Structure 1
Amino acid sequence: MRYINLVKNLSNWWLHFAVKFGLTEANPVIFRTRGEVEIEVPRRLMHEFKEVFFEDAYLTGMKAHLPARPIIVDVGANAGFFSLFAASSFPGATIYACEPVPANFKQLMRNKERNGKQAIFCLPMAVCSYDGEVFLNFELEGNFTTAATIMGNGEGADKGLMVPCCTLATLFHAHGIKNCNLLKLDCEGAEFDILYSCSPEFFSRIERIAMEVHEGSREKHNMQALKSFLVSCGFVVRHRRHVLWAWSSTLS
């Protein structure tokens, strides 16, 4: 299925095999989708790229299909791979991509600039349970990172920097988002506080959620508690391993 998705999603799919077997030294690698979107992929982020374009990690378990011109909020956008996948799959989409890590955000902007026709709005900020600033923990020496967290856990928790942050409600208000067709979350454990801080009324504005769940030691920071919470807010929920999908019961 991975290679079927590769051929289905990318027009220059053969370039993956050139990279895999050492037939090209290109870095970054420029892939092109069948939806005429270009993706600049540093080799350091090849795994994250494949998660989206080979495995369709965020949409594969979503029962309720997206409309042709969806409003999408991408929290933890990294270099923009899911945002670009969505833009390729839904050319009429409007996408708000939030990424607080400076190196990742720079790559996100490079990918946006390659695709000027797509309505992707890049926001250099974290989303959390309050408005203001939050300490983002990650290795400053690294170029890109996929493990930045605002949870302050583990070894090296003092490494990082302060970044601007806001709640989902503030984000929606600031950008006039009245209805979100898909909320995608990949934010290294912050998904619990982000969602638990939202009111039941606010969730009526979100039709679908797709997220990676990073379980922690805090109370209710686990898959079962999160599923129960979303069900109580009117969602139908399913999960596979660490990925959770939810959609409003009104769509079922």
Structure 2
Amino acid sequence: MKIIKSKLKNIIEFRRYKKLGLTYNEFSSLKNRSLKKTSFLFGKEIKITDSFWYLHSLNELFLDEVYRFKTNIDTPKIIDCGSNIGLSIIFFKRLYPTSQIIAFEPDNDIFTISKYNLDQFGISDVKLFQKAVWINEEPLIFAKTGSLGGHVVKEERENTIKIQTVRLKDLLFEKIDFLKIDIEGPEYDILKDCGESLKNVDNIFVEYHSFAEDPQMIGELLIILKNAGFKVYIKEAWENMNKPFMEKKSSYFDLQLNIFGYRL
């Protein structure tokens, strides 16, 4: 009975993903956390890093469409900080084919995968940089995880690389229609540095990450967005703690939030 219920649940869930070009066998394989390194999206074979997080990203980007925004122009300017394997860029290009996109992905291996995936979709007009956004242009140490969780660290260790950086504030000198920041940790520092320049951004998405061992800066981050004139809407990005009073610091991140900033 449990097997039948599980299969029925998978079939019902698959109906949502079918429109993305996945077959049921492909979906089931991904759902079972296979070690597949390729998949299909809208009829194109692309490279992936992790089947679980790939499905999670498909759901978030192409089914829930968390990055969908409205604009009255054909060529909106988009800055994508933390573009990973390129799915967000593909989403933006399907939404606004002639959009002007600047994207950043510091992990060298994932950057290569991203370029491959964009080529599969014939996307050649995106400025994609193997760099991280930061508060200056000094090199940083980056811990590679092979998937979505790569992040900046203070000291070199196993699986770390030195990465080049770009000061995000320097890119906000003109109107930006959509700014996406999903960079696994330093969101507050970067937004604080951007300050007054955020007035040039129409829509902003920030995935806020709070390391369990560090002070939470969510209050200060929200004040920055408020002072920049944004209204905000917040969703939980991931349930890091089911019982916060009991678990407290047991999670790597003790808080992950999707923050949507928009203007009326």
The 3-state SS of whatever aligns with 2:148 is coil
1:101, distance to aligned residue in structure 2 (A): 0.6
1:20, distance to aligned residue in structure 2 (A): 4.2
1:133 pairs with 2:132? no
**Aligned twin of 1:163:** 163
User: What letter is aligned with 2:97?
Assistant: P
Question: Quick check: which one's helix share is greater?
Answer: 2
- For 2:31 and 2:78, the matched residues in 1 are separated by 36
Equivalent of 1:210 in 205, 209, 219: 205
Identity of counterpart residues, as a percentage?
A: 18
1:91, distance to aligned residue in structure 2 (A): 1.5
**Aligned twin of 1:195:** 191
Equivalent of 1:145 in 144, 147, 162: 147
RMSD of aligned Cα (Å) = 3.1
Q: 1:5 to 1:128 in 2, by over 3 A?
A: farther
- For 2:195 and 2:63, the matched residues in 1 are separated by 24
User: What letter is aligned with 1:158?
Assistant: R
**Aligned twin of 2:88:** 82
Q: 1:172 to 1:119 in 2, by over 3 A?
A: farther
Q: 4+ residue stretches of structure 1 with deviation over 6 A?
A: none
Point out where structure 1 has 5 or more consecutive residues left out of the alignment. Answer: none
Q: 1:121 to 1:53 in 2, by over 3 A?
A: same
Question: Quick check: which one's strand share is greater?
Answer: 2
Point out where structure 2 has 5 or more consecutive residues left out of the alignment. Answer: 1-11, 237-256
Equivalent of 2:17 in 6, 28, 31: 6
1:3, distance to aligned residue in structure 2 (A): 5.2
**Aligned twin of 1:56:** 61
- For 1:179 and 1:2, the matched residues in 2 are separated by 39
1:245, distance to aligned residue in structure 2 (A): 0.5
- TM-score, length-normalised on structure 2? 0.74
**Aligned twin of 2:50:** 45
Q: How many residues align?
A: 229
Equivalent of 2:70 in 65, 89, 94: 65
Q: 1:172 to 1:3 in 2, by over 3 A?
A: farther
